[in-house]
Amino acid sequence: MKKRKKKRGLSPISSRKLGTVPVRIGHGFDVHRLEPGDGVVLGGVPIACPYRVVAHSDGDVLIHALCDALLGAAALGDIGRWFPDTDARWRGADSRALLREVVRKLAAAGWRAGNVDLTLIAQVPRVAPHVAAMQRALAQDLGIGVDAVGVKATTSEGLGFTGRKEGIAAHAVALLRR
Ligand code: MG
């Protein structure tokens, strides 16, 4: 008599079934170098400070991490795939325009943002006075309420490249809804 192998654990969910799940989650991360300058753009908000971000676009790490979280949740690749830094069209690009384009791509795939949560890791500049403006800008581009846009900032206690003010970093998570 043939011995039947006992199945263990849960059966894998098929991608067809996964397509019917009404929510998705995604994570994004970005880093940019800092150098002496006259200001940065973070979360869509220009901030005057003695630094600038070295980047092909406006170097908005918060929005770049957010775009990757949104695209990742929909399994639509990443920001580098859609807006390559080898393409002159994106030189000095306003990252808010990239974010709105990502929102359009999500909509075409049947998704919209539920809530998002962002964390900036930066020794400089001080962003606390600008958080509310960032929430408003991002909420507008995402088409959601400001109460669904978390923006937080932390230093790295002087440690590492962010602590040495050589660069800034950002993490983002995003929930998508059908
Ligand atoms: Mg970037």
pLDDT, average across residues 26-47: 97
C-alpha of residue 56 to centroid of ligand 1, in Å: 8
C-alpha of residue 40 to centroid of ligand 1, in Å: 13
Residue-by-residue DSSP string for the chain: -PPPPPP-SPPPPPHHHHTT-SEEEEEEEEEEEEEE-S-EEETTEEE--SEEEE-SS---HHHHHHHHHHHHHTT---HHHHS-TT-GGGTT--HHHHHHHHHHHHHHTT-EEEEEEEEEE-SSS--GGGHHHHHHHHHHHHTS-GGGEEEEEE--TT-HHHHTTSEEEEEEEEEEE-
Mean pLDDT over each residue of the chain, to the nearest integer: 92
pLDDT, average across residues 112-129: 97
Each residue's pLDDT tens digit, 165-178 = 999 999 999 999 99
Each residue's pLDDT tens digit, 132-152 = 999 999 999 999 999 999 999
pLDDT for 6:
59
pLDDT tops 80 at residue 3: no
| pLDDT confidence tier of residue 86, bands split at 50, 70 and 90 | confident
C-alpha of residue 122 to centroid of ligand 1, in Å: 14
**Percent share of the chain, pLDDT over 90:** 80
The full set of domain ranges for the chain reads 24-177
Query: In the CATH scheme, what is the code of domain 24-177?
Result: 3.30.1330.50
pLDDT tops 90 at residue 19: no
C-alpha of residue 110 to centroid of ligand 1, in Å: 26
